[in-house]
Chain A
Amino acid sequence: NAGVMQNPRHLVRRRGQEARLRCSPMKGHSHVYWYRQLPEEGLKFMVYLQKENIIDESGMPKERFSAEFPKEGPSILRIQQVVRGDSAAYFCASSPRQTWETQYFGPGTRLLVL
């Protein structure tokens, strides 16, 4: 039973490019949560999605960031026109139901914006 998968593990982008981060939840999990971790800091909640629905995006910047979790395929976190301040580790977690108690985290995608 594979855990939460994220790819790519490392992503380098130049300012102004788009970054696309993917998260495949654990088998049987239909709830996905995205977090951002800046260097030397804790994780900050960004967005919570169920299949085909955004439940809570209150932690996501209003511009340039978007997330989706289609009926088929992985959840995608998209960052348009990246800036240096977007450099961070992006983690997704999944759960079989809506819960803040037991979330299973992926290994993260480390984004570096040059």
Chain B
Amino acid sequence: SQQGEEDPQALSIQEGENATMNCSYKTSINNLQWYRQNSGRGLVHLILIRSNEREKHSGRLRVTLDTSKKSSSLLITASRAADTASYFCATEETSGSRLTFGEGTQLTVNP
């Protein structure tokens, strides 16, 4: 499997529900980032969590990082139809040579 794998691949929920996406990685990292990509558009940076942090909040977003399990989760609370997009995690490895993206989770929020 690859560095930065998201789970599930696709998620469909109703507006108002919470959405949880998971990301696993393999190597040591400096930080982990979450991005959103609307269909046919570029990526938008959502949140960054450093390797020495365990949890971070930004608005309706909550990110956790467990370096012992090499995993992260992104929680979107009180989802809206406008949250419909693909969500990618990306890791900056300690080698610092590049940003490695996962395959993404396609989130659909039904009104």
Contacts and interface: CB of A to CB of B under 8 A. Distances in A.
Interface string B69-111: 0000000000000000000101010001111111110000000
A40 B48 CA distance: 23
A56 interface: yes
Interface centre among B43, B97, B100, B101 (most CB of A within 10 A): B43
Given A101-B31, A101-B92, A106 B42 contact: yes
Contact of B43 (A48, A56, A91): A91
B43 A43 contact: yes
Interface residues of B, number: 23
B98 A103 contact: no
B27 to A, nearest CB: 14
Contact of A42 (B4, B92, B96): B4
Interface of B: 4, 30-31, 33, 40-45, 48, 88, 90, 92, 96-104
Interface of A: 4, 33, 35, 40-45, 48, 56, 58-59, 91, 93, 100-108, 110
